[in-house]
Structure 1
Amino acid sequence: MRMYDIIHKKRDGGALTKEEIRFFVEGYTKGEIPDYQVSALLMAIFLNKMDRRETVDLTEAVMHSGDTVDLSSINGLKVDKHSTGGVGDKTTILLGPMVAACGVPVAKMSGRGLGHTGGTLDKLESIGGFMVEVSSEDFIRQVNEVGLAVIGQSKNIAPADKKLYGLRDVTATVDDVSLIAASVMSKKLAAGSDAIVLDVKVGSGAFVKTIDGAIELGQIMVDIGDGMGRAVIAVITGMDQPLGYAVGNALEVKEAIATLRGEGPQDLRELCLRLGGMMVYLGGKAKTPEEGSELVLDALRSGAAFEKLKAFVAAQGGDVSQIESPELLPGAKIIEPVLSLKSGHVAHIQSDEVGISATILGAGRETLESVIDHGAGIVLVKKVGDAVKQGEVLAYLHTNSDQRLEEARERLLGAYEIQAEDVPVPKLIHAIVRKDGVVRY
């Protein structure tokens, strides 16, 4: 088998066989096939597309390019959740305890933030003493005992994806649905869960900008899961403004705690009830997603979810007193208001610009070497649909250094679009994609 022939075949619109896909993925991972040939193949795939069978085969090949996690010794059906990335997306910190409190084990591997989207591990590390590096044995034991563990992803999970993404990033082949789907699903399937709920973001703060594009991506990922024997549901959710009000590590943990205590923002609460309901349903503890949502709501109201958060934090070495008294979490010496320059109604908030503003304040990484300020970030006061008067506070900037405060302020002001007319509150959930079809809202 020759790489030249595989490139030639795809260039002319042919469908690659399972063996051809495995050949190029294995060869590239081992360094036996050069970048220039894989670049040519990626462009051929981008231009001529892959069918569903090819996409499943690509996902499987990338998944098996490194380690796969065996969770069979964990009792019950393991359900994972994956978000395609957003601003203020602290759902894992809520969903883990909510779902585990309903008796569904959550064994999750999460990542760090780079750029304008925050990473779950960085948020959890704002809790004093919290350990994200846990041995496989302790990880499995903790899930069996507590029902929940969240750790860093193994460096050898889907190594082919890291190499392929690096090439896609510099060859203008990132935004192909088959390549995106294979990238996401190879890592989630390698992580070993029995079922997955996908939160596919769409809008200004998301990679996918159109609802139809997000649905197509969701359908392909659901098909991949089905083709590999896993139950998958994709929820298409809006990211035309940040989720909740807090953006930044400790600030988001505080908002998650408030939500578990029944005090959090409505959009965050609603999304977690819907996603949590689907996770409980896939975990076999409810007959329908709607029944699952009711069970999750009961866990919230009874305080069981909040108690599960404390048990989870304690099990991973975290300071539980910071969960009971969130004011003990890292804070900011400087808290500055951002004032509206005009009166009207908030028509739009450019989410990625909010995320970049928070990064400038110290909440995120501009390079892999950047040191995060866990107390830095932004707390929004006005969101889409809200009325605002000139001179009224739009948001508060939190930072421990005033070095780039004005830069962050200007960037955040530019993220707000204010118009005279009333503006409806944007839709949170646009569609749900399942094996048996799509329901639009």
Structure 2
Amino acid sequence: MAEAHDVVDLIRTKRDRGVLATDEIDWLIDAYTRGYVEDAQMAALAMAILLNGMERREIHDLTQAMIASGERMDFSSLPMPTVDKHSTGGVGDKITLPLMPLVAAFGVAVPQLSGRGLGHTGGTLDKLESIPGWRAALSNDEMLAQLADVGGVICAAGSGLAPADKRLYALRDITGTVEAIPLIASSIMSKKIAEGTGALVLDVKFGSGAFMQQESRARELAETMVALGKDAGVDTRALLTSMDVPLGLAIGNANEVRESVEVLAGGGPADVVELTVALAREMLAAVGQPDADVEAALADGRAMDRWRRFVVAQGGDPDAALPVANETHTVVAESDGVLARQEALPFGVAAWRLGAGRARATDEVVHAAGIDLHVKPGDAVRAGQPLWTLSADDASRFDRALASLEGAWEVAPVGTPVDVQPIVRDRIV
């Protein structure tokens, strides 16, 4: 059977700043999924999109075509509304862990289809696999049953959701086209819409440790994704949040689980609590509970109860000891002063070099590896005081991790004013 279009014509159209028709985009994604359009051709098209952009209608069509390439999940059988959260990722971003049980405590189903980390940001599933026995792979039937019973699930996304995106995502990674906003937005939203959630809250980060470093670019991405969600009938809203400084005091896997449990116990670092609460409010407002007292659910143990039920439901032991590293190295302050600067990305790279992340998809993460921060910008420090502790299973990893921290932080003289910015910068609805 003759093909409806010629991919070279489509590449030329985008190369020359033209606009692709709906039927051209539908054919393109179908032909790429079938293997008719080759990776080299899709790579050329991705680069043209990176350089010349896409109109909103084109991005909508691209998203819909990627959804149509695979299966769609259906949560309509559940007796409660569904709401999901997606973060564009950052250093120390463990918010999914305390957030899911917190929102589920209000009688809402939270289906969190998550991934594994590649590079300096650890994946949510890698963090949870620090818990002895916990498993990430659930069938659709197991997921539905757990949502009905526990109210929340965090598991690996099945290969059936938006398979075209899986191919295109891998291609973007090796062709320098990851940053193309139309491709990021359609990638994230095709999976979230296919997942079948009724409402979606996006945590779009900007700054040193974020995927999008410029606030203006993060805003454009957030606005694009909110529009895509609304076009598809999903109540979608976004928070624009800062990722210049690591989130919380733990960077790694097991130590981020420990910090998440501290938040669920009513404690934890103020910034992690602040962002967890802000996102929970947005998620609950999206499903008709704008006045939910989320702080009370953290304080009275309801969120912790949901966490324990969730861990047990997926085969884990919530009381088991988390992995501990064989080796540690603590960096101390050389003088009295105030921590004036602490750049997120180098700390993420350092944790990755300690073994907390992957260089390749096939790499194993070291669950106990990472960094525990003892101070954050604005904190006073004394000479000899610990600033942060590095953990690894092999002491030979410390030198390269410390090298990545050179110039990434600064202790200023006592009394130096430090401008500590709020985490949540804007709300896009």
Contact 1:246 1:252 in 2 (8 A): yes
Partners in 2 of 1:249 and 1:142 — Cα distance?
24
Structure 1 segment 38-437 matched on structure 2, within 5 A: 38-284=42-288, 286=289, 288=290, 291-292=291-292, 295-322=293-320, 328-420=321-413, 421-434=416-429
SS of 2:284's partner is: helix
Contact 1:79 1:283 in 2 (8 A): yes
SS of 1:216's partner is: helix
Partners in 2 of 1:107 and 1:330 — Cα distance?
27
Partners in 1 of 2:235 and 2:70 — Cα distance?
23
What amino acid is aligned across from residue 6 of structure 1 in structure 2? L
**What do residues 175-212 of structure 1 show as CA deviations (whole Å, max 9, x unaligned)?**
22111111111111121211110000110000111222
Could you tell me which residue of structure 2 aligns to residue 437 of structure 1? Answer: none
Q: CA deviation at 1:128?
A: 0.9
SS of 2:356's partner is: coil
After alignment, is 351-360 or 297-306 more displaced? 351-360
Q: CA deviation at 1:343?
A: 4.6
In the superposition, relative to structure 1, how do residues 139 and 425 fare at CA in structure 2: closer, same or farther (>3 Å)? same
SS of 2:395's partner is: coil
SS of 2:172's partner is: helix
**What do residues 146-195 of structure 1 show as CA deviations (whole Å, max 9, x unaligned)?**
11111111123222222223333343332221111111111111212111
Q: CA deviation at 1:115?
A: 1.1
Q: CA deviation at 1:351?
A: 1.3
Partners in 1 of 2:16 and 2:371 — Cα distance?
50
What amino acid is aligned across from residue 356 of structure 1 in structure 2? V
Residues paired across the two proteins, number: 423
Contact 1:127 1:250 in 2 (8 A): yes
Equivalent pairs: percent with the same residue? Answer: 45
**What do residues 22-64 of structure 1 show as CA deviations (whole Å, max 9, x unaligned)?**
1111111211012333233223322332111111111111122
Partners in 2 of 1:347 and 1:161 — Cα distance?
41
**What do residues 375-411 of structure 1 show as CA deviations (whole Å, max 9, x unaligned)?**
2211001211223344332101122221212222332
Q: CA deviation at 1:342?
A: 5.0
**What do residues 232-288 of structure 1 show as CA deviations (whole Å, max 9, x unaligned)?**
11101110011100111111111111111111000000101000011111122x1x3
Contact 1:114 1:367 in 2 (8 A): yes
Question: What TM-score, normalized by structure 1, do the two folds share?
Answer: 0.92
Q: CA deviation at 1:213?
A: 1.4
SS of 1:321's partner is: coil
Partners in 2 of 1:351 and 1:165 — Cα distance?
25
Partners in 2 of 1:36 and 1:335 — Cα distance?
46
The alignment yields a C-alpha RMSD, in angstroms, of 1.7
Partners in 1 of 2:18 and 2:365 — Cα distance?
47
SS of 2:254's partner is: helix
In the superposition, relative to structure 1, how do residues 43 and 114 fare at CA in structure 2: closer, same or farther (>3 Å)? closer
Contact 2:328 2:395 in 1 (8 A): no
What amino acid is aligned across from residue 77 of structure 1 in structure 2? P
What amino acid is aligned across from residue 301 of structure 2 in structure 1? G
Contact 1:384 1:426 in 2 (8 A): no
What amino acid is aligned across from residue 22 of structure 1 in structure 2? D
What amino acid is aligned across from residue 424 of structure 1 in structure 2? D
Partners in 2 of 1:426 and 1:87 — Cα distance?
17
Could you tell me which residue of structure 2 aligns to residue 438 of structure 1? Answer: none
**What do residues 352-389 of structure 1 show as CA deviations (whole Å, max 9, x unaligned)?**
21112112222222222322221221100121122334
Q: CA deviation at 1:139?
A: 1.0
Structure 1 residues not aligned, in runs of 5+: 323-327, 435-441
In the superposition, relative to structure 1, how do residues 309 and 5 fare at CA in structure 2: closer, same or farther (>3 Å)? same
In the superposition, relative to structure 1, how do residues 43 and 368 fare at CA in structure 2: closer, same or farther (>3 Å)? closer
SS of 1:417's partner is: strand
Partners in 1 of 2:337 and 2:23 — Cα distance?
60
Contact 2:223 2:428 in 1 (8 A): yes
Partners in 2 of 1:137 and 1:171 — Cα distance?
37
Q: CA deviation at 1:303?
A: 0.8
After alignment, is 356-365 or 387-396 more displaced? 387-396
SS of 1:29's partner is: helix
**2:8 matched to 1:4?**
yes
Contact 1:338 1:409 in 2 (8 A): no
Partners in 1 of 2:171 and 2:308 — Cα distance?
42
After alignment, is 173-182 or 198-207 more displaced? 173-182
Partners in 2 of 1:366 and 1:11 — Cα distance?
32
